[in-house]
Amino acid sequence: MQPPNKDTNYQKLIENIGDAYQNSKKKATSAINTQMLEAYWEIGKYIIEFEQDGNLKAEYGKTLLENLSKDLSLCYGSGFSRSNLTYMRLMYNKYPICETLSHKLN
């Protein structure tokens, strides 16, 4: 959307402000995405560590992700479906060192 026709200096001002705004929006979105991926990695880590610490009994192990999904969704809202938790767990398995994941993102 173009502002009403003004002199070229004013047009350049509008363009510069728009560019600064758009660039900042892109950087903010990227930072948020990176932060969320790091949070998902950490959640996967907690799940794996819980499992490996011998906290799983045979019957409880089958329902761990279902129980986590239900309880986390009640506390924090959407985003904690069983499948999302499975992907978070898989992310930690694939990248057991967070720096490796961060390097892949950059």
The predicted-structure confidence for 29-46, as pLDDT tens digits, reads as follows 999 998 999 999 999 999
Query: CA-to-CA distance for 22 and 4, rounded, in angstroms?
Result: 20
pLDDT digits (tens, 9 = 90+) for 63-86: 899 999 999 999 999 999 999 999
Burial class of residue 27, CB neighbours in 10 A (0-12, 13-18, 19+): exposed
State pTM to two decimals: 0.74
- Both tokens of 85, joined, read 């938790």
CA–CA dist 49, 43 (Å, integer):
10
Please check the confidence at residue 21 and state whether its pLDDT lies above 70. Answer: yes
pLDDT, tens only, 80-91: 999 999 999 999
* Cβ-Cβ contacts under 8 Å for 102 (sequence gap 6 or more): 34, 38
**Structure-token match 């992310």, residue found:** 91
Q: Is the pLDDT of residue 105 over 80?
A: no
